[in-house]
């Protein structure tokens, strides 16, 4: 895997959550209200769900193409989830940052860890369900998968939740609007970290 250049200036916000927690819903809302923040569109070999669009939600590609891209070193990170491959394209992230945007990532904890090892300025946010029973309900409500797949996602969710311990922030997704508000607030607060404003501060105090 290729490294992104370390002189990255944009803020990278990395969000993880067990499947069904509400991460996609929250991220979409935040992206609507924070124009400086752009979504890192991952590649995946899974089929699009109802309502998902190629090039907006994911780049839906074949396993063959994905494997070629792995060989070509195109991904910053990639992982296999539920039999499908998911990966973050280096080129896409680099061009977003070059254009002056901040970038929101929706990746699993393995991908997040890889990003953490490369960008120590990135911010890591874990979204939690209000309870395990509610997580089950939300997965069912989404209703996009067969029972066996849903069961596998659910078992995996248990394991993933333990990863919360190394993230910077945790959001309990009790009420969607509040979760959106908290994620937006995290972004705003991080943008105003004193060390991110060094240039502007230096201009004033010399
Ligand atoms: P994820 O991206 O984490 O897999 P989704 O965003 O697809 O999860 O949400 C799963 C389901 O739960 C969807 O039907 C969504 O509308 C619902 N949902 C998300 N957040 C909440 C919430 N706070 N309260 C009730 N339902 C929610
Ligand atoms: P879903 O199929 O529900 O969209 O995503 C399944 C899991 O894959 C989620 O945990 C999601 O965060 C993760 N995921 C999506 N894109 C990427 C990616 O580019 N890299 C990694 N490592 N995980 C991803």
Per-residue model confidence as pLDDT tens digits over 163-174: 999 999 999 999
- Determine, yes or no, domain membership for 93: no
Which of the listed residues 17, 20, 25 should we mutate to test ligand 1's pocket, taking the one with most ligand atoms within 8 A of CB?
A: 25
- Considering the domain boundaries, does residue 89 fall inside one? no
Q: Is 107 close to ligand 2, i.e. is its CB under 6 Å away? A: yes
Does 77 map to a domain? no
Q: Does the Cβ of 77 fall within 6 Å of ligand 2?
A: yes
Q: Is residue 87 part of a domain?
A: no
- Structural Rg of the chain based on CA atoms: 17
User: For residue 81, is it within any domain?
Assistant: no
Nearest ligand to the CA atom of 88: 2
Largest CA distance in the chain: 63
Is residue 191, in this structure, part of any structural domain at all? Answer: yes
Residue-by-residue DSSP string for 57-68: TBEE--HHHHHH
- The segments of the chain whose pLDDT lies below 70 read 1-8, 142-145
Domain contains 69: no
- What separation in Å is there between the alpha carbon of 93 and the centre of ligand 1? 26
pLDDT at position 5 is 42
| Structural domains counted in the chain | 1
Burial grade of 88 (CB within 10 A; 0-12, 13-18, 19 or more): buried
Sort 64 into a burial class: Cβ within 10 Å, 0-12 / 13-18 / 19+: exposed
Give the per-residue pLDDT at 63.
98
* In-domain check, residue 95: no
CA atoms of 148 and 94, how far apart (whole Å)? 38
* pLDDT at position 176: 97
Task: Identify the H or E element spanning 147.
Answer: helix 147-161
- What is the number of other CB atoms lying within 10 angstroms of the CB of residue 109? 23
Q: Which ligand is nearest to the CA of 89?
A: 2
On whether the CB atoms of residues 106 and 19 are closer than 8 A, the answer is no
Question: Ligand 2, closest atom to CA 109?
Answer: 22
SS3 111: helix
Which range marks the domain in which residue 120 is found? Answer: 12-40+102-205
CATH number of the domain where residue 26 is located = 3.40.50.300
CA atoms in the 13 A half-sphere facing the CB of 1: 16
pLDDT of residue 144: 64
């Amino acid at each position: 895997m290729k490294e992104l250049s370390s002189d990255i200036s944009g803020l990278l916000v990395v969000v993880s959550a067990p499947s069904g927690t509400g991460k996609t819903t929250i991220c979409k809302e935040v992206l609507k209200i924070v124009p400086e923040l752009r979504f890192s569109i991952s590649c995946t070999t899974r089929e699009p769900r109802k309502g998902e669009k190629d090039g907006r939600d994911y780049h839906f590609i074949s396993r063959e193409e994905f494997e070629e891209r792995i060989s070509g070193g195109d991904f910053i990170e990639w992982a296999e989830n539920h039999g499908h491959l998911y990966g973050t394209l280096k080129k896409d992230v680099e061009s977003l940052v070059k254009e002056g945007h901040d970038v929101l990532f929706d990746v699993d904890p393995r991908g997040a860890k890889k990003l953490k090892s490369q960008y120590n300025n990135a911010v890591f946010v874990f979204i939690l369900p209000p309870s395990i029973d509610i997580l089950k309900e939300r997965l069912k409500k989404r209703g996009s998968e067969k029972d066996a797949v849903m069961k596998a996602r659910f078992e995996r969710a248990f394991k993933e939740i333990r990863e919360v311990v190394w993230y910077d922030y945790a959001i309990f997704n009790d009420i969607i609007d509040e979760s959106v508000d908290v994620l937006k607030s995290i972004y705003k607060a991080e943008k105003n970290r004193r060390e991110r404003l060094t240039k502007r501060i230096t201009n004033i105090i010399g």
